[in-house]
Amino acid sequence: MDESELARGLEGVTVAETRLSDIDGEAGDLVVGGFPVADLATNATYEEALFLLYNDRLPTAAELDAFRADLADRRSVADEVRDVLRMAAEAGDPPMDALRAGVAAANLDTGEANPEGTARRAVAVLPTIAAAYWRYRQGTAPVEPDGGLRHAANYLYMLTGEEPDEASVRGLETYLNTVIDHGLNASTFAARVVISTESDIVSAVTAAVGALKGPLHGGAPGPVLDMLQEVHDSGDPESYVRTKLDAGERLMGFGHRVYRVRDPRAAVLSGAAERFYDAGGDAAFFETVTAFEEVATDLLAEYKPGRSLETNVEFYTAALLHGVGIPRDLFTPTFAVARVGGWTAHCLEQLQDNRLIRPRARYVGDRDRTWRPLADR
């Protein structure tokens, strides 16, 4: 790119090589660890997907058992960390603020120096932090992690204190795998920038959580659920959509910065949601979801011809996470529970052949100012 060109938001600028994931926005394809996202998300456990990102291959049965046990051993947090989360809950701090504080505090007492060990600790401890904060916010004590449960199952268990059914576990696990990595999105880029300074993975993950907190990155599934519940109560999706579009408002859950067709992750999650609701969820609610997608897609084409505004990942994220029992306020923290696998894998990849990430800015300020002493201003 010519240095005179300005790439706002670094759009179209390639700054790294990666083997972790690849996005084709025009075709609507996403490859994660060499697998089409649909194949990986619907077949793997989260531990298998994470091992794949870390090692560029799937684990053997013995390797998977060892990897799973190692992650389980890193799930607990100290009482001092729980105090931080309790105070955050009592103060009414937003969940992402609590997650940011918790992930930084939870790694102070481990003595972990190896980057991959720190990466595993970050992945293992995020569900514990999110669940403990939520339990405190409900006025109940946190639930200790269960080392015998898979990563996804343990997260649901820590939220409720009850071992989840397999349909809920598989639904959540499919979600975690679907969003585990997605190119150089804002939070992943933030993590790579921090680790490129030869800082540490805890700092990189903390920065990534801060980036994910922003509503332009990780905040849409909650409003999508609000929208779906309102439409479900009214039973009139067309009136809802027309009212929004006539007012010039954005329809949450549609359109994407990269994809020019339907988000491939939406396809994966719609299938996962259908399987979950067929297994005993609120079938009437899911009928509203699918009817709304059809109506909204048609009306968006009518109101905004020539623009591709298909469903994105947030639309079916809301339906699926709501179904499996994740509270609405934990949708974005649950996104972090998944994406921390990608954040840490990118950090490890950056460290393999590191170069400080240092873009330039174009100066547009004055150049010929004359200094005036304070008394003369």
Rounded CA-CA distance 58/42 in Å is 15
pLDDT (mean) for 173-198? 97
Rounded CA-CA distance 60/76 in Å is 26
Q: What confidence score (pLDDT) does residue 107 get? A: 74
- 280 φ, ψ (degrees, to nearest 5): 135, 10
Provide the pLDDT confidence category of residue 7 given band limits of 50, 70 and 90.
confident
Collapse the DSSP code of 311 into the 3-class scheme (helix H, G, I; strand E, B; otherwise coil) and give the result.
strand
Please name the residue ranges forming H helices in the chain: 37-43, 46-55, 61-73, 79-90, 95-105, 115-137, 151-160, 166-178, 186-196, 201-213, 221-234, 237-246, 264-278, 283-303, 313-324, 331-352
Contacts (Cβ under 8 Å, ≥6 apart) of 5: none
Q: What confidence score (pLDDT) does residue 360 get? A: 87
- Model confidence at 1: pLDDT above 70: no
For residue 32, the surrounding DSSP H or E stretch is strand 29-32
Contacts (Cβ under 8 Å, ≥6 apart) of 192: 16, 184, 204, 346, 347, 350, 357
Provide the pLDDT confidence category of residue 10 given band limits of 50, 70 and 90.
confident
Dihedral Cα 128, 133, 136, 141, nearest 10 deg:
10
Q: What is the 3-state secondary structure (H, E, C) of 45-92?
A: CHHHHHHHHHHCCCCCHHHHHHHHHHHHHCCCCCHHHHHHHHHHHHCC
pLDDT in tens, 96-146: 999 999 999 987 656 667 899 999 999 999 999 999 999 999 999 999 999
Rounded CA-CA distance 333/127 in Å is 8
User: Any idea which residues carry the catalytic annotation?
Assistant: 256, 314
Percentage of the chain lying above the pLDDT 70 cut? 98
DSSP for 248-279 reads T---TTB--SS-SS--HHHHHHHHHHHHHHHT
- 256 φ, ψ (degrees, to nearest 5): -155, 150
Rounded to the nearest 10 degrees, the angle between the axes of helix 331-352 and helix 46-55 is 20
Q: What confidence score (pLDDT) does residue 110 get? A: 62
Q: What confidence score (pLDDT) does residue 344 get? A: 98
Contact 105, 151 (CB under 8 A): no
Provide the pLDDT confidence category of residue 215 given band limits of 50, 70 and 90.
confident
Rounded CA-CA distance 264/268 in Å is 7
Q: Provide the CATH topology of domain 21-183.
A: Citrate Synthase; domain 1 (1.10.580)
Collapse the DSSP code of 360 into the 3-class scheme (helix H, G, I; strand E, B; otherwise coil) and give the result.
coil
pLDDT in tens, 286-326: 999 999 999 999 999 999 988 888 899 999 999 999 999 99
Contact 153, 163 (CB under 8 A): yes
- Model confidence at 355: pLDDT above 60: yes
Give all strands of the β-sheet with 29-32 in edge-to-edge order. 21-24, 29-32, 35-36
Give the domain ranges of the chain.
21-183
- Model confidence at 54: pLDDT above 90: yes
Q: What confidence score (pLDDT) does residue 259 get? A: 84
Provide the pLDDT confidence category of residue 269 given band limits of 50, 70 and 90.
very high
Average pLDDT of the residues of the chain: 93
Question: Which of the residue ranges 38-42, 66-70, 101-105, 178-182 would you say has the lowest mean pLDDT?
Answer: 101-105
- 22 φ, ψ (degrees, to nearest 5): -140, 135
